[in-house]
Structure 1
Amino acid sequence: MRHLACPEWGRIAVAQKGAQGALSPREALALEQAARSHPLGGRDGCAILTHYRDHVKVGQLVGVLSAPGISLEILPKIDPASHLDNRSSLRARLVSLIDLAHDLRLAEGEAAAMARGAETLLDLFIRIFATRLATQARQGLPRHYLAREDDLRALRGQLHATRQFTVNAVRPDRLACRYDELDADIPLMQVMACAIVSLRRRTRTLSTARLLDELRYAFDDVTLLPPNRLPWQAITIERSNKRWESLLKVARMLLGQDWQGTGHKGSAPRGHSLLFPMNDLFEKAVATLLRRGLADAGYDVRTQDQSRYCLRENSRDLFQMRPDIVIRKNGRTVAIIDTKWKPLDADHLDRGHLDQNEHDAGGEPASLSGKGGVSQGDVYQMMAYGQVHDCAQLMLLYPARPGSGSRMLRSFTVHPDGERTLSIAAVDMAASPRASARALRDLIVQSLDRTRPSPRQRAA
């Protein structure tokens, strides 16, 4: 199988065989079919990629899209000026975002260490899964008491009287027994066994394949089920198997049973795709960091809050609002954050000036608006959030260039009364999770310190 890599919103040429770094027409059609069949593909698969005559353009999903004979790895464009030269670093940063968004609880530096030897993001996650499963298996597989019925030579447990005096009536050497037996053949272990076999067929790394082969022997007594028959609903995480919780999340993601739909339907092309919308990853990662940073300050951080509506007609609420992140304290909304995974031209996010390096059609220095790439629609949306939630502090949060640090870029007052504030900020997701959580906490506290009560709060 051939493998290519591309950044989000990037392009790959479609040419005849022999062109380096390009797709053949057959490979482009195969990827297009895989995109159409994927749950995140949207209409005609255009949410993942669009197939033009001479090139393929990918969307804002990251991960691996697989089709017969070809796999395409889409990496995040964290730094607009960067290239795909250091893929292991980009994969490690992406895994860090996925870890925060899905609470996989990876050890700090675990992804970076494994990313050096991984060929794709999928290989990296398979390696993480196999390594962590081996660690847990060495400590012993969880076992539950399972009810058994069998005909034995000696009594074990209780006598099944009905069966004994009917089926075994002519077999005095057999006793119909009902008993409980500790067994590892439970739903949680059946998921792990299925993941071992399924991922063994997909890994491209020899060391990972060898580790999965060794694990198969450890799970030899566990019933092997196909992915579409796994008993997900029967799995219960409790105190006795709590250490398996994060591993179960990784298995669920790799076997295609979580929200991003990594699996394919039966009619889909062969291959294993693992795709994530970057907007959702960024939003969930920021929410996780905010919860960590504000945990001891009494703030409640919620994502996709659906408690308010824009309009009401005849006692019926219409047009439900879903802000990305809502921060509450003592039952009152104190801040609303909308996350935007796109580069912000922070250098031009000022009060407007004449740029001597850029010129208009008449040759005069260009006049910059000071918007710096902030969408007018995004501002309108934040105004609606502030009005309906009666919130005085609003924020648009963008990713900062790696290494530039998290900082407040600009703060505006909202017309006409100036009682609300819209802040523009950037967070450096390339920093360690602990540092990013502290930086986000400082940004929020800094914003709240400047916040005045909203008009409704002052009237009360």
Structure 2
Amino acid sequence: MHSPRQIQVFEYDSLNIGTKKGKVEFKKKHFRALVKLNELHGNKYFTVGLNKITFKHYVGVLQVHDVCIEVLPKADRSSADEGAWQNALIEMLRVTRRLKVNQVDHANVTKQSKHLLDIYFEWYLNEVQKLMHQGLIKKYYRKQGNLNTLKGKLVFAKQISQNLIHKERFYTEHQVYDKDHLIHQILNQALGIIEQFTRGGYLYGKCKSIQLDFPEVKAIQATAATFDKLVLGRKEQPYTTALEIARLIILNFAPNVKSGSEKMIALLFDMNNLWEEYILVHLKKAFRDDEVQVLGQRSKTFWNGITIRPDIVIRKGDHTAMIIDTKWKIIDQYKPSTNDLRQMYVYNEYWKSTQAILLYPSNKEKVTAVKQFEPIKDKGENHSCGLAWINILEGGRINDNFSSDLKRVLGF
């Protein structure tokens, strides 16, 4: 496999068979493979049309055959280029701790790293390298097998079935203390996937070097259940980050899609969730020196066990100062959807808040608009809903004042 060629698209863009992005052509084999990949994930990543793929609200990176497709977010219909939005995506992943890079700048990630997949692969290789430098841990585990001496306990059923003729052998179960345990088997599986996807690229040599120095362990095919049963004690804590990245790589790798011999990987993130978490982190930063609580994921029972949950609740003392719902979408002429307004009205009622805000992304300054809900006859205090926009990019670059701007547009 040669170093992949890259196609960059924005969310909700379409790719037709025969479309060319620079020198890279989106071919029928890419289309067929992506259709099968989408089916593996419940058809949630994109909509399949006649000879075309239309992306949804999932952003990130896919690689299939010799093509790497980067799906970028875009806050509005401005002409900001792919580079600016690639940096914006990396910054959002960094802030929400889905990606560890020191600074959002191509030169500081690596000069040769051209797409998100490379960045994740390099992060993983660095983590494994760090663990090897610190010294890989040994663990006890139970092992069964034929031995020439009696060690541990004899497994009678296997001894009878396998060693009836070979009286000199003992089929035993015994305890082993070495590096061939589940954690290292998972790390090794992820290294094998990275090796397949970096052939011909600048990371291939680094990956092969790590594989050569890595202890020989049993090959496994880890699944979500494998990761769910992992329990990390104090001794295993240094492995946490490497295992998180390994999980992302292994569970998003599709080696068994039968469309020729291609292998595919998709690291895609729901932009709605990413936007919500990005806002939450920045709000906590903006209010860290104030007597204000910024809370996320707070639910209340609504009806018959059904709960409702605003994205963010801001509390001052013992009362709710504001409810915020983040919306990763473009609206025209200050007209939110009726469903969104109904939702905010209910949030205000249940959290006893006098103001709710629908918070949208933007690339240009917009004035926050606050309107009162129409009062209900014979009802006491009324409350309002506002629309607010926050700039992600400033002059084609990441908005460095995002936290303070966020506080300002919310009226604090």
TM-score between both structures, scaled by the size of structure 2: 0.76
How many equivalent residue pairs? 391
SS of corresponding position for 2:369: strand
Q: 1:193 to 1:413 in 2, by over 3 A?
A: same
For 1:374, give the aligned amino acid.
Answer: P
- CA-CA distance at 1:204 after TM superposition: 5.7
- CA-CA distance at 1:126 after TM superposition: 1.2
Gaps of 5+ in 2: none
Residues 425-447 of structure 1 deviation map (CA, whole Å, 9 limit, x = unaligned): 33344587985445545666x45
SS of corresponding position for 1:57: strand
> Which of 44, 56, 59 is the matching residue for 1:59?
56
- CA-CA distance at 1:197 after TM superposition: 0.4
Residues 138-192 of structure 1 deviation map (CA, whole Å, 9 limit, x = unaligned): 1222333445689999999xx76999xx999xxxx99999986542223222211
Residue of structure 2 in register with 1:210 after alignment = 205
Residue of structure 2 in register with 1:188 after alignment = 183
1:246 and 2:241 equivalent?
yes
1:426 and 2:378 equivalent?
no
SS of corresponding position for 1:223: coil
Gaps of 5+ in 1: 257-261, 346-370, 448-460
SS of corresponding position for 1:337: strand
Task: Give the whole-Å Cα distance in 1 for the aligned partners of 2:155 and 2:194.
Answer: 46
Identify which of structures 1 and 2 has the higher relative contact order when contacts are C-alpha pairs closer than 8 Å and 6+ apart.
2
Residue of structure 2 in register with 1:381 after alignment = 343
Task: Give the whole-Å Cα distance in 2 for the aligned partners of 1:123 and 1:105.
Answer: 12
SS of corresponding position for 2:120: helix
1:412 and 2:371 equivalent?
yes
- CA-CA distance at 1:195 after TM superposition: 0.4
For 2:361, give the aligned amino acid.
Answer: P
Q: 1:117 to 1:126 in 2, by over 3 A?
A: same
1:397 and 2:356 equivalent?
no
Residues 197-241 of structure 1 deviation map (CA, whole Å, 9 limit, x = unaligned): 011101266321111111112323332212349731332233333
> Which of 50, 61, 82 is the matching residue for 2:79?
82
Q: 1:125 to 1:18 in 2, by over 3 A?
A: closer
1:280 and 2:276 equivalent?
no
RMSD value, Cα = 4.2
> Which of 4, 7, 19 is the matching residue for 1:4?
7
Residue of structure 2 in register with 1:452 after alignment = none
Q: 1:65 to 1:85 in 2, by over 3 A?
A: closer
- CA-CA distance at 1:90 after TM superposition: 3.2
Larger Rg: 1
Q: 1:151 to 1:200 in 2, by over 3 A?
A: closer
- CA-CA distance at 1:413 after TM superposition: 2.9
* Contact 1:187–1:234, Cα closer than 8 Å, also in 2: no
Task: Give the whole-Å Cα distance in 1 for the aligned partners of 2:335 and 2:244.
Answer: 37
Residues 303-382 of structure 1 correspond to what in structure 2 (within 5 A)? 303=297, 305-309=298-302, 311=303, 316-317=304-305, 320-327=307-314, 333-343=320-330, 371-382=333-344
SS of corresponding position for 2:203: helix
For 1:336, give the aligned amino acid.
Answer: I
SS of corresponding position for 1:135: helix
Q: 1:208 to 1:21 in 2, by over 3 A?
A: closer
1:124 and 2:123 equivalent?
no
* Contact 1:118–1:205, Cα closer than 8 Å, also in 2: no
* Contact 1:123–1:205, Cα closer than 8 Å, also in 2: no
Residue of structure 1 in register with 2:39 after alignment = 37
Q: 1:376 to 1:162 in 2, by over 3 A?
A: closer
Task: Give the whole-Å Cα distance in 2 for the aligned partners of 1:225 and 1:5.
Answer: 34
* Contact 1:340–1:398, Cα closer than 8 Å, also in 2: yes
* Contact 1:104–1:249, Cα closer than 8 Å, also in 2: no
Task: Give the whole-Å Cα distance in 2 for the aligned partners of 1:241 and 1:432.
Answer: 36
* Contact 2:125–2:207, Cα closer than 8 Å, also in 1: yes
Q: 1:115 to 1:56 in 2, by over 3 A?
A: farther
Task: Give the whole-Å Cα distance in 1 for the aligned partners of 2:11 and 2:387.
Answer: 24
For 1:63, give the aligned amino acid.
Answer: G
